[in-house]
């Protein structure tokens, strides 16, 4: 039996692509949240000045990793060419501070071709939490920041969509406890991304028929391989205790393999209706966004838009659409390298660099009131 691709494993990592850029898919894509735990300042030994040998090692390895993994091979070649030219010209000779060096390399990569996730991070702990130069933004368990009823609408506020079965189960259970709601409001204005786990847990409650949410292309062989947990709340497994909750190989039921071009692993992210709960299938769903909404949170927004199952209210989103994962670079650095893209299979358009345009454009602070006003008018 062939080993599962990283697209599978990724959906359980998707894209954590928050502002720290840990990302998607076997559970996003769409790509990512900070690691839980107490922040420990970087020890002095870890911030030792860069040596010429270390700097050259980082540039060489980063160039090779980009060539092997970045989602677009032609762009990857341009990145690698720039890094090798900078190395040859000794362009970073004046940067002995590893944090400043990582920031400058990131800026140079973005100047070649902008990408909402690509970056080099100083990561002396080796914990794959890019950007660990300040306190974490919150543990995954805090990702479901608020649940309450507002004027008869079930309101859920997310700071991220983590790869955490307990968060997915809590979101799903809140909706199951309020199936008599007039509608649902999903607040992703502060969400920096995550995985598809929470989506797979709650979206089946909103759909009466199977639907394709998104298409996801991954560069073949670009990510790690290994077992993945089942899709939370989706048919065949999850936090609800249904059969199939054990770790297993292969894609979850929500990832359906499609034929793709050479060198690309292609999957459609789908939703399957909940087999028992039907009451929320016809209620209005509103999804709130801001200019900070990114990565997997944008995946969620486009999924609701393209299926016409939700109304996106707020601001155009951040435009971080290429998902990936952190890769160790040298001994004190890591790079977040996007190896895939999510997009609408009908138009072939994603949201990298452009964001998701809301159905109803209002300022982020006004989005909740606008959603309530529209919902109450229905």
> What does the pLDDT read at residue 46?
64
**Strands, DSSP E only, in the chain?**
119-122, 144-150, 153-158, 183-187, 211-219, 255-258, 264-271, 285-289, 311-314, 322-329, 333-343, 360-361
> CA triplet 356, 349, 25: central angle to 5 degrees?
80
- For the domain spanning 144-221+251-323+345-377, the CATH number is 3.90.226.10
pLDDT-derived band of residue 221, with 50, 70 and 90 as boundaries? confident
> What does the pLDDT read at residue 229?
33
Instruction: For residue range 308-361, list pLDDT tens digits in order.
Output: 999 999 999 999 999 999 999 999 999 999 999 999 999 999 999 999 999 999
Instruction: For residue range 229-274, list pLDDT tens digits in order.
Output: 322 222 233 332 222 233 334 567 899 999 999 999 999 999 999 9
> What does the pLDDT read at residue 137?
42
Cross-strand partners of 282? none
- 227 pLDDT above the threshold of 50: no
- 16 pLDDT above the threshold of 80: no
Instruction: For residue range 186-205, list pLDDT tens digits in order.
Output: 999 999 999 999 999 999 99
- 53 pLDDT above the threshold of 90: yes
> What does the pLDDT read at residue 140?
61
The tally of CA atoms less than 13 A away on the side-chain side of residue 76 is 18
How distant is the alpha carbon of residue 355 from its chain centre?
14
Q: What is the CA radius of gyration of the chain?
A: 21
pLDDT greater at residue 32 or residue 235: 32
Instruction: For residue range 125-184, list pLDDT tens digits in order.
Output: 866 543 333 333 445 668 999 999 999 999 999 999 999 999 999 999 999 999 999 999
> What does the pLDDT read at residue 47?
80
Burial class (CB in 10 A: 0-12, 13-18, 19+), 277: middle
pLDDT greater at residue 64 or residue 237: 64
Burial class (CB in 10 A: 0-12, 13-18, 19+), 138: middle
pTM score, whole prediction:
0.81
Measured between alpha carbons, how far is 253 from 281 in angstroms, rounded to an integer?
20
Look up tokens 């009466």; give the residue.
208
Q: How far is CA 46 from CA 104, 206, 270, in A?
A: 19, 49, 44
């Amino acid at each position: 039996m062939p080993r599962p691709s990283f697209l599978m494993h990724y959906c359980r990592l998707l894209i954590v692509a928050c502002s720290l850029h840990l990302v998607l898919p076997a559970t996003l894509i769409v790509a990512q949240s900070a690691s839980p735990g107490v922040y420990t300042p970087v020890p002095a030994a870890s911030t030792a000045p860069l040596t010429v040998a270390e700097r050259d090692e980082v540039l060489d390895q980063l160039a090779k990793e980009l060539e092997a993994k970045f989602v677009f091979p032609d762009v990857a070649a341009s990145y690698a060419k720039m890094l090798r030219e900078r190395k040859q010209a000794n362009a970073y000779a004046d940067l002995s501070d590893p944090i400043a060096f990582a920031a400058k390399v990131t800026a140079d990569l973005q100047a070649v071709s902008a990408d909402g996730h690509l970056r080099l991070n100083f990561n002396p702990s080796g914990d794959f939490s890019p950007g660990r130069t300040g306190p974490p933004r919150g543990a995954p368990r805090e990702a479901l920041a608020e649940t309450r009823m507002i004027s008869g609408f079930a309101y859920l506020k997310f700071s991220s969509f983590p790869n955490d079965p307990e968060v997915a189960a809590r979101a799903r259970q809140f909706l199951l406890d309020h199936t008599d709601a007039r509608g649902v409001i999903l607040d992703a204005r502060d969400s920096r991304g995550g995985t598809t786990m929470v989506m797979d847990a709650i979206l089946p409650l909103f759909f009466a028929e199977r639907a394709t949410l998104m298409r996801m292309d991954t560069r073949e062989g670009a990510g790690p391989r290994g077992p993945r947990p089942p899709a939370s709340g989706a048919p065949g497994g999850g936090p609800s205790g249904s059969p199939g909750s054990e770790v297993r190989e292969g894609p979850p039921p929500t990832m359906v393999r499609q034929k793709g071009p050479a060198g690309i692993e292609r999957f459609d992210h789908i939703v399957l209706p909940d087999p028992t709960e039907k009451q929320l299938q016809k209620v209005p769903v509103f999804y709130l966004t801001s200019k900070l909404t990114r990565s997997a949170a944008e995946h969620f927004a486009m999924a609701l838009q393209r299926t016409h199952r939700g109304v996106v209210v707020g601001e155009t989103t951040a435009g971080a659409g290429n998902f990936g994962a952190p890769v160790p670079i040298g001994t004190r650095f890591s790079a977040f390298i996007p190896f895939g893209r999510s997009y609408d299979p009908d138009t072939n358009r994603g949201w990298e660099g452009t964001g998701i345009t809301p159905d109803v454009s209002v300022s982020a602070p006004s989005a909740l009131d606008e959603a309530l006003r529209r919902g109450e008018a229905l």
